[in-house]
């Protein structure tokens, strides 16, 4: 029987897995294995850089890889040769295609995370991190190939949402959050980029 993993469960499993791996200098089906690591047009897949090495993991036991970990040769703080993780690609629904990719910094902390939420091979959301903590999310709500919602975080907590509700490339809706709830909402009615109407959350006593 082929099992399935939820997003949080799979991420945890990737962190803990260290045994059943297949080491191979190859990419998942349909990958472009040449280039300089640049993102493919609108796609969740990225090109494999020439100095990267890929290790495959089969976490759900269906004898097909569902996690690809990319490393490069580096030296640690003691000057020893190590393999440093630079990115990972994950198949979350077991269809053999990448649905999530993560990029890591020199300390192997995630700095960028791209998600294909509807499993069509294209990026729907990109999350940005600083020192491993989420700072911003950009989401394509209209499948237009560009962000139409932005979520901003401070110390891992949501503080502001911005939206382009009519897909004209301009923010026309703002939500400001305090104490894990909406404090006030601003709307641009005439399209000049400025708030024309504010609405206060009467339930927020702060």
In a 3-state reduction of DSSP, which class is residue 159? Answer: strand
pLDDT score at 42: 56
In Å, what is the CA distance from 52 to each residue of 25, 31, 55, 76? 8, 14, 10, 17
pLDDT at 169 over 60: yes
Tokens of 180: 């894990």
Report the pLDDT value the prediction gives residue 2, as an integer from 0 to 100. 38
Taking a C-beta distance cutoff of 8 angstroms, is the pair 15, 89 a contact? no
CB contact at 8 A, 203 and 195: no
pLDDT class of 46 with cuts at 50, 70, 90: confident
Tell me the pLDDT tens digit for each residue of 62-82: 999 999 999 999 998 899 999
Q: Which residue has the higher pLDDT, 204 or 133?
A: 133
Mean pLDDT, residues 92-98? 92
The DSSP secondary-structure symbol of 165 reads T
Is residue 17 over pLDDT 50? no
Cα angle value 62/20/99 (rounded, 5°): 55
What's the mean per-residue pLDDT of the chain?
83
């Amino acid at each position: 029987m082929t099992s399935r993993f939820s997003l949080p469960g799979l991420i945890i499993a990737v962190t803990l897995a260290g045994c059943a791996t297949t080491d191979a200098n190859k990419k998942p089906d349909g990958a472009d294995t040449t280039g300089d690591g640049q993102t493919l047009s609108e796609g969740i897949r990225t090109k494999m850089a020439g100095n990267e090495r890929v290790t495959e993991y089969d976490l759900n036991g269906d004898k097909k890889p569902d996690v690809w970990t990319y490393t490069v040769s580096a030296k640690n703080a003691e000057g020893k040769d190590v393999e440093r993780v630079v990115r990972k690609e994950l198949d979350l629904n077991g269809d053999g295609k990448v649905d999530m990719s993560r990029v890591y910094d020199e300390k192997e902390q995630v700095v960028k995370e791209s998600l294909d939420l509807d499993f069509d091979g294209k990026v729907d959301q990109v999350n940005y991190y600083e020192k491993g903590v989420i700072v911003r999310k950009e989401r394509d709500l209209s499948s237009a190939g560009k962000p139409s919602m932005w979520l901003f975080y401070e110390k891992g907590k949501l503080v502001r949402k911005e939206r382009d509700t009519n897909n004209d490339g301009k923010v026309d809706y703002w939500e400001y959050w305090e104490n894990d709830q909406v404090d006030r909402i601003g709307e641009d009615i005439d399209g000049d980029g400025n708030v024309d109407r504010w609405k206060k959350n009467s339930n927020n006593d702060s």
